[in-house]
Amino acid sequence: MADLVLASTSPSRRALLKRLGIPFRCLVPVVHEDDWKIGNWSPRELAEHLAVAKAESLRDTEPGATLIGGDQLVVLDGRIYGKPGSRERALEQLEALSGKSHELITALAVWHAGQTYVHTDRTIMQMRPLLTDELERYVAADRPYDCAGSYKIEERGIALFDRIDTQDHTAITGLPLIALTSLLRRLGYKVP
């Protein structure tokens, strides 16, 4: 069976993939995400292109491996929200999302034996109205600077929401395991 490689530095994606019990390695993808944000992509296209770019960025150095890439972004009223990178930007993003419903797009790309498979999950997240002190307490607790939309649903971020509509709750954390396990089984991996 081909080595399984997660092309990601995300601790959340690593933890999700570990749940499957399949040995894998993590490598840093060779992708400059900002380069992809130039262009006229729809949010779904952007997430898919970035996921594919991450997986395929390692195909020359890992030609015999199965490569997994992922990308995630938040969309509200046509505006894309990525990783905030700072406390101030996290607070700005959360203020914009407060009391509103937004779309969380999670794209998965798997490169195997010269072929790339793509799957995209769409989740509707209804954030409850939040006061400034609630936002400040939340950001201080979870420090969600590396998360699209500025929340960590797997931690205290769950308290920010009234409702979540999804087909796969693992997609919210960054790696849709239902689609991934189905694909890995088709490729010959034993899951579970």
**Residues designated as active site:** 71
DSSP E strands, the chain: 4-7, 25-27, 66-76, 79-81, 101-112, 115-127, 161-165
Q: How far apart are CA 181 and CA 179, in angstroms?
A: 6
167 token code pair? 């087909």
In residues, how long is the chain? 192
Return the DSSP state at 190: -
Name residues whose C-beta falls within 8 Å of residue 127's C-beta, 6 or more positions apart in sequence.
94, 97, 98, 99, 100, 101, 102, 160, 161, 162
Name residues whose C-beta falls within 8 Å of residue 154's C-beta, 6 or more positions apart in sequence.
12, 173
